[in-house]
């Protein structure tokens, strides 16, 4: 085999395109209905999707759907308050936010707020089951491995930029609590690992994931590839001719090297971003600040120490979208009892989490808008369910409590939304064709602060996301001779009212 020392740009585009096409064309499992021409394909209003995942259960009453606020004082009863923060105005008249989200409040006129997302009825609550349900549209366990939303999009649409992994997952480690449960849905499932997540647990280390392995210079890395090609050419196995297995192996290595060698690889390197831009996402950022696994994970002030990690993830997402990423998820990270999983110290943790998200999410919207990308990028901010100070589950279907709530609160640590509430929840949508300054759904102003109008379930939310990128909710893939629909049983209905 004769390999040129470096591919010309034209060659590069040609081979990448061919590889992508063949991967898509040959990909098993096959699509149903679409192939048979029985499926309407919605006209896409977005090319990319960014899901901003509020892991652990973000209380609607503490964020985007504030209710009656009573400040903390000793002896207060949990039934006295619905929110632990005052509400603030936003740039949209009929929408109020909770204090601490001032920057997001100013950009609310660019997007749509859903206040009535209601999680599935899965009984005694386990975060990772609800997260599985949110991300796959199916409640676990399933008899076949259900694919993640990002994998469905990756499989169906392919990468936008051929060198860029089509499904990039930022911010989740897999060596913290319930990690196997998180892995169970952070997967392409039966669609095959080609469409699985490219995981970047720490955004500040993202460059490492597309860089030569530790200690290897770029020159040596390039040289290793050249040497490999020569060795491959010299190998008598070439006499066996091409085979599916051999071609797929060689092609996959080419693809990997191509990403690592492409301009798109620079998108992963946050050190290339001017400091002033980083500070728009993370105001307290100091150069060289690292967020890594060595940090004390379970300290009392964990959330405050970690402010900035999610922000860098958002910045990374912007850089990746600019370089043709298809589906990106940035998570605040699910760790049991930390981040949005406010079982204790709910008020102070929620305050820290709002600081974590307010600057970067609003800046991401502004940056994409400024670059003319917001129109074609759908941003979805969501969580697996909401929280309440008293109600576990939903009002008519209460489930086993997991937190002790005292009748009278003497200690500040009991002031907050410590139980899991599934009858309402907020989803923010920006860009990608959704309405601007629009409010969808209404919840009760008295406890239980449940959904009153326009209930949204996961099937319809997914159908709407798929609609935006031009995928029918009835699309199905064949597995074990049966159809597996991208929304459960093909029943998801896109909420057309959300789109401009």
What tokens does 463 get?
């159908």
Contact with other proteins (CB under 8 A) among 99, 102, 109, 178:
178
For other proteins, which is the closer residue by CB, 225 or 358?
225
- The set of residues, in sequence order, having a beta carbon less than 8 Å from that of 455 and lying 6+ positions away, is 116, 118, 441
Q: Which stretch binds other proteins (CB under 8 A): 62-70, 300-308, 414-422, 475-483?
A: 475-483
Interacting residue with other proteins among 21, 231, 272, 500 (CB under 8 A)? 231
Residue 32 found at the interface with other proteins (CB under 8 A):
yes
Could you give the CA distance from residue 68 to residue 389 in angstroms, rounded to a whole number? Answer: 13
Q: Which of 106, 173, 251, 436 forms a contact with other proteins (CB under 8 A)?
A: 251
Q: Which is nearer to other proteins, 56 or 311 (CB)?
A: 56
- The 3-state DSSP class for residue 301 equals coil
Binding mask 142-161 for other proteins (x = CB under 8 A): xxxx----------------
Nearest alpha-carbon partner for 121 in 367, 345, 421: 421
129 binds other proteins (CB under 8 A): yes
Nearest Cα neighbor of 82 from 400, 354, 391 is 391
Task: For residue 369, give both structure tokens.
Answer: 């808008």
Q: Tell me whether residue 258 or residue 418 sits nearer to other proteins (CB atom).
A: 258
Are residues 460 and 403 in contact, defined by beta-carbon separation less than 8 angstroms? Answer: no
Residues 6+ apart with CB under 8 A from 4: 11
Binding residue (CB under 8 A) for other proteins from 34, 82, 108, 184: 184
Least gap, CB of 141 to other proteins (angstroms): 5
Binding mask 341-380 for other proteins (x = CB under 8 A): ----------------------------------------
Judged by CB, which is closer to other proteins: 96, or 251?
251
Name which of residues 259 to 288 contact other proteins (CB under 8 A). Answer: 259-260
CB–CB of 338/297 below 8 Å? yes
Own/partner contacts of 287-296, CB < 8 Å, gap of 24 or more, are: 289/204, 290/202, 290/204, 290/205, 291/202, 291/203, 291/204, 292/202, 292/204, 292/205, 293/173, 293/175, 293/201, 293/202
| Nearest-angstrom CA–CA distance, 140 and 275 | 43
In terms of DSSP H, where are the helices of 158-242? Answer: 179-185, 206-209, 218-234
Restricting to residues 442-461, name those near other proteins by CB under 8 A: 455, 457, 459
State yes or no: residue 18 binds other proteins (CB under 8 A): no
Expressed in angstroms, the distance from the first to the final Cα of the chain is 54
Q: Print the binding letters for residues 391-410 with other proteins: x by CB under 8 A, - otherwise.
A: --------x-----------
Which stretch, 119-127, 281-289, 382-390, 441-449, contacts other proteins (CB under 8 A)?
A: 119-127
Mark 186-215 with x for binding to other proteins (rule: CB under 8 A) and - for no binding: -x--x-xxx-x-x---------xxxxxxxx
């Amino acid at each position: 085999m004769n390999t040129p020392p470096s591919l010309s740009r034209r060659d590069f585009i040609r081979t990448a395109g061919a590889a992508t096409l063949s991967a898509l064309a040959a990909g098993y499992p096959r699509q149903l209905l679409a192939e048979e021409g029985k499926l309407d394909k919605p006209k896409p209003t977005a090319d990319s999707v960014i899901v901003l995942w509020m892991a652990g259960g973000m209380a609607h009453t503490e964020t985007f759907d504030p209710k009656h606020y009573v400040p903390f004082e000793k002896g207060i009863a949990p039934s006295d308050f619905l929110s632990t923060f005052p509400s603030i105005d936003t740039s949209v008249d009929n929408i109020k936010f909770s204090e601490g989200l001032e920057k997001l409040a100013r950009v609310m006129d660019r997007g749509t707020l859903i206040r009535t997302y209601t999680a599935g009825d899965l009984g005694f609550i386990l975060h990772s089951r609800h997260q599985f349900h949110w991300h796959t549209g199916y409640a676990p366990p399933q008899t076949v491995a259900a694919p993640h939303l990002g994998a469905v999009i990756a499989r169906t649409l392919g990468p936008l930029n051929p060198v860029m992994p089509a499904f990039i997952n930022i911010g989740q480690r897999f060596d913290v609590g319930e990690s196997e449960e998180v892995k169970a849905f952070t997967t392409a499932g039966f669609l095959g690992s080609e469409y699985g997540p490219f995981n970047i647990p720490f955004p500040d280390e993202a460059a490492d994931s597309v860089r030569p392995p530790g200690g290897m210079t770029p020159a040596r890395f390039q040289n290793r590839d050249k040497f490999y090609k020569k060795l491959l050419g010299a190998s008598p196995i070439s006499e066996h001719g091409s085979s599916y297995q051999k071609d797929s192996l060689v092609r996959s290595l080419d693809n990997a090297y191509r990403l690592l060698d492409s301009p798109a690889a620079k998108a992963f390197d946050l050190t290339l971003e001017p400091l002033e831009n980083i500070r728009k996402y993370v105001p307290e950022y100091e150069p060289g600040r690292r967020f890594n696994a060595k940090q004390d994970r379970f300290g009392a002030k964990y959330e405050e120490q970690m402010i900035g990690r999610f922000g860098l993830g958002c910045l990374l997402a912007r850089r990746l979208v600019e370089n043709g990423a298809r589906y990106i998820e940035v998570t605040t990270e699910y760790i049991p009892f930390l981040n949005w999983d406010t079982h204790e110290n709910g008020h102070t943790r929620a305050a820290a989490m709002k600081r974590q998200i307010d600057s970067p999410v609003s800046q991401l919207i502004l940056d994409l808008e400024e670059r003319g990308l917001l129109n074609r990028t759908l941003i979805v901010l969501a969580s697996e369910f909401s929280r309440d100070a008293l109600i576990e589950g939903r009002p008519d279907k209460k489930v086993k409590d997991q937190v002790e709530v005292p009748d009278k609160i003497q200690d500040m640590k009991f002031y907050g939304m410590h139980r899991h509430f599934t009858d309402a929840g907020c989803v923010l949508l920006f860009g990608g064709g959704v309405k601007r300054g629009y409010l969808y759904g209404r919840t009760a102003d008295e406890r239980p602060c449940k959904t009153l109008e326009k209930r949204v379930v996961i099937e319809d939310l997914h159908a709407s996301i798929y609609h935006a990128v031009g995928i029918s909710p009835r699309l199905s893939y064949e597995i074990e001779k049966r159809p597996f629909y991208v929304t459960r049983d093909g029943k998801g209905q896109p909420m057309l009212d959300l789109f401009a």
